Amino acid sequence: MSRIIPIAVHTFKESVREKVLYSLVLFAILLMAAGILFGTISVGVNEIVLINLGLTAISVFGLLIAIFIGISLVWKELERRTIYNVLSRPVARWEFIIGKYLGLALTLLVNTAMMTAAFYIVLWWEMGRLGAGDLAPLEAIYFILLELALVVGLALLFSTISTPVLSAIFSFSLYLVGNLLDDLRDFGERSGSAAVGLLARGLALILPDFGAFSAISQAAHGQMIPAYRVLSNSLYALLYVTVLVSAAILIFEERELQ
């Protein structure tokens, strides 16, 4: 059990060395700062724009990092044969997978924290004050983190089966579809064929529901998210991540290391 920690720490350190990570974070921060200019070309939406832009940047760049690093998490170790260093030790395959997941999750947590700090600095700079009323974005950021946890799980799962390019495509596609589940369900209900309807409605229940986590617009209007929604989303994320990581473990347990 305790082998998970060295693997997680190692994965974290390795991810943090990725130069792309820094470029993306820097870009996100620049974008937030540019949000200050945004307010001057529009009317009356200064604070709203800053929050929308900042949170969108945190979400989008977090997504990019999660997918970019996630898709080669397992694949790289297999491809470069460094996996032998790990699995020849008393390390179970499931420990390897969970360690990898936690390492990347930690990386994203640190990134998001950095971007959140930058966000609040920009907000404070522009609005001249920072108070209890500015906590709403934190809730949205929490939801973003939950989303990222799911995306990392997806990327990890695909990383055990396919090459990085395919994994990236699948992960992005699932993220897209996961935001359109309501439409999928509507489509199923309105479809003429019973089989298609059943399939569509079934898929809408099984595929990851990313739409449930969107709270950026609410945060921009200073609305706090009701507690029950925070709880249910947290639970959903936990369960779904468990599903994804378990699937990855199942697949990896059968994998022969040529």
Partner 1 sequence: MSARPPIVVILTVALAGSVLLRGQIHRAALAAELEPVVYVRSGETLRRFSLGYEGLLADFYWTRAVQYFGRERLAGNSRFERLDALLRATVALDPHLLIAYRFGAIFLAEKPPAGAGRPDEALALIRRGIGANPGYWRLWQDLGFIYYWDLRDYRHAALAFEAGSRQPGAGVWMKTLAASVAAQGGELDTSRLLWTEVLREAGNDTIRRGALEHLGAIKAAQDITRINRALDLFCQQRGHPASQLKDLVQAGILAEQPTDPSGVPYVLGLDGKAALGPGSRINLDLAR
Partner 2 sequence: MWAVETSALTKDYRAGFWRNRSQRALDRLDLTIEPGEIFGLLGPNGAGKTTTLKLLLRLIFPTSGHATVLGRPVSDLRSHARIGYLPENPSFYDHLTAAEFMQYAGWLAGLDSRTRRLRTGELLDRVGLAASAGLAVRKFSKGMVQRLGIAQALVHDPELLILDEPMSGLDPLGRRQVRDLILELRRQGKTFLFSTHILSDAETLCDRMAILDRGRLRGSGSLREILGAASSATELILENPQPAALDALAHFTTAAVRTGDRVRLEIAAEADLPTVLRTALDADARIVALNPIKLSLEDYFVARLGSRENASGPIADKSSVQAPKAEAARR
Task: List contacts with partner 2 (CB under 8 A).
Answer: 2-3, 6-7, 10, 14, 17, 80-82, 84-92, 256-258
Q: Which does 257 bind (CB under 5 to 8 A by kind): partner 1, partner 2, none?
A: partner 2
Alpha-carbon distance of 118 to 95, in angstroms, equals 35
Q: Is 153 exposed, middle or buried (0-12, 13-18, 19+ CB in 10 A)?
A: buried
What is the DSSP annotation of 106-123? HHHHHHHHHHHHHHHHHH
Q: Which does 148 bind (CB under 5 to 8 A by kind): partner 1, partner 2, none?
A: none
Minimum distance between the CB of residue 108 and partner 1, rounded to whole angstroms?
17
* Structural contact between residues 38 and 49, judged by C-beta atoms closer than 8 angstroms: yes
Q: Which DSSP state fits 251? A: H
- Give the separation between CA 179 and CA 209, rounded to whole angstroms: 7
Q: To the nearest whole angstrom, how small is the minimum distance from the Cβ of residue 184 to partner 1? A: 11
Question: Which of partner 2, partner 1, none does residue 183 bind (CB under 5 to 8 Å by kind)?
Answer: partner 1
Q: Which residue lies nearer to partner 2 by CB, 40 or 88?
A: 88
Q: Which of 112, 158, 120 is nearest to 32 (CA)?
A: 120
Shortest CB 225 distance to partner 1, Å: 14
Neighbours of 173 (CB within 10 A): 10
| In the complex, least distance from residue 182 CB atom to partner 1, rounded to whole angstroms | 8
Binding site residues, partner 1, CB under 8 A = 38, 41-45, 48-49, 51-53, 55-56, 59-60, 175-176, 179-180, 182-183, 210-211, 213-214, 216-217, 220-221
